[in-house]
Amino acid sequence: MLQWDQEDRCTASPIPLPARTKRPLPPRSIDRGRALLEPPMTQRPRLLPAVMAITAAATLALMGYEMVRSAASSVFLAHHAASRLPEALMLVPLAMIALTLTVSWLLRLLGPARTYSATLVASGLVLAGAAVAARQRIPGGAFLLYVFAQAYIVLIVEQSWAFINSQFSTEDGKHWNGFIIAFSTVGSVLGGVLTGMLSEKLGSEGIVLAAAALTAAAALISRRAFRLARPERTAADRQPDRLADHFAWDLLRADPTLGRLALMVVASQSVSVLFDIAFHRSLQLAMPLQDPRTAFLGFFWGGVNAVAFLLQLGLCPWLLRRFPVRRILAAIPLLYAAAALAGVFLPLLPVLGAAFFLSKTVDYSVFRAAKEVLYIPLPFTARYRAKLTIDALIYRSTKGAASVLLSLAALAAGALPLRLYPLLATALGGFWHGVTRNLPEPGMKT
Report the pLDDT value the prediction gives residue 237, as an integer from 0 to 100: 66
The answer as to whether 22 is a domain residue is no
Report the pLDDT value the prediction gives residue 200, as an integer from 0 to 100: 78
Report the pLDDT value the prediction gives residue 21, as an integer from 0 to 100: 46
The answer as to whether 26 is a domain residue is no
Report the pLDDT value the prediction gives residue 362, as an integer from 0 to 100: 94
* Residue 432 and residue 405 share a domain: yes
- What is the separation, in whole angstroms, between the first and last Cα of the chain? 40
* Residue 401 and residue 266 share a domain: yes
Q: Which structural domain range is residue 117 located in?
A: 46-224
Report the pLDDT value the prediction gives residue 409, as an integer from 0 to 100: 87
Strands 10-12 and 2-4: antiparallel
The answer as to whether 365 is a domain residue is yes
Segment 335-364 mean pLDDT: 94
Whole-structure pTM value: 0.81
Under the banding of pLDDT at 50, 70 and 90, the label for residue 82 is low
The answer as to whether 202 is a domain residue is yes
Distance, CA of 128 to CA of 154 (rounded, Å):
18
DSSP of 104-127, one letter per residue?
HHHHHHH-HHHHHHHHHHHHHHHH
- The last residue of one of the domains, among 224, 257, 276, is 224
Hey, which of 79-88, 160-169, 280-289 has the most confident mean pLDDT? 160-169
Which residues in 121-143 are b (16+ Cβ under 10 Å) and which e? bbbbebbbbbbbbbbeeeeebbb
The answer as to whether 236 is a domain residue is no
* Residue 195 and residue 71 share a domain: yes
Report the pLDDT value the prediction gives residue 31, as an integer from 0 to 100: 41
Report the pLDDT value the prediction gives residue 281, as an integer from 0 to 100: 87
Contact 58, 218 (CB under 8 A): yes
| % the chain with pLDDT above 90 | 47
Under the banding of pLDDT at 50, 70 and 90, the label for residue 182 is very high
pLDDT higher than 80, residue 243: yes
Q: What are phi and psi of 444, to 5 degrees?
A: -120, 135
Under the banding of pLDDT at 50, 70 and 90, the label for residue 217 is very high
Mean pLDDT of all residues in the chain? 84
Comparing CA positions, the residue from 288, 272, 283, 442 lying closest to residue 371 is: 442
The answer as to whether 88 is a domain residue is yes
Which segment of 287-301, 361-375, 405-419 scores lowest on mean pLDDT?
A: 287-301
* Residue 56 and residue 184 share a domain: yes
Segment 33-54 mean pLDDT: 60
* Residue 199 and residue 348 share a domain: no
Report the pLDDT value the prediction gives residue 66, as an integer from 0 to 100: 86
The CATH number assigned to the domain holding 108 equals 1.20.1250
What is the rounded radius of gyration, in angstroms, for the C-alpha atoms of the chain? Answer: 25
* Residue 380 and residue 297 share a domain: yes
Angle at 186 between CA 128 and CA 132, to 5 degrees: 10
Number of domains the chain contains: 2
Distance, CA of 180 to CA of 58 (rounded, Å):
10
Query: What is the CB-side half-sphere exposure of residue 345 using CA atoms within 13 A?
Result: 5
- The last residue of one of the domains, among 224, 258, 278, is 224
The CATH number assigned to the domain holding 425 equals 1.20.1250.20
Distance, CA of 130 to CA of 74 (rounded, Å):
14
CA distances from 352 to 359, 367, 405, 414, 421 (A): 11, 20, 21, 22, 10
Segment 299-312 mean pLDDT: 87
* Residue 247 and residue 114 share a domain: no
* Residue 254 and residue 215 share a domain: no
* Residue 208 and residue 120 share a domain: yes
Helix, strand, or coil here: 4? strand
* Residue 339 and residue 418 share a domain: yes
Report the pLDDT value the prediction gives residue 51, as an integer from 0 to 100: 92
* Residue 420 and residue 280 share a domain: yes
* Residue 67 and residue 146 share a domain: yes
Distance, CA of 404 to CA of 161 (rounded, Å):
30
Report the pLDDT value the prediction gives residue 445, as an integer from 0 to 100: 53
- The helix or strand, by DSSP H or E, that contains position 3, with its residue range, turns out to be strand 2-4
The answer as to whether 84 is a domain residue is yes
pLDDT higher than 80, residue 311: yes
Comparing CA positions, the residue from 170, 369, 104, 390 lying closest to residue 258 is: 390
Comparing CA positions, the residue from 272, 214, 237, 242 lying closest to residue 383 is: 237
- The last residue of one of the domains, among 224, 256, 276, is 224
The answer as to whether 33 is a domain residue is no
Report the pLDDT value the prediction gives residue 84, as an integer from 0 to 100: 73
Specify which residues 12 forms β-bridges with.
2
Segment 402-429 mean pLDDT: 89
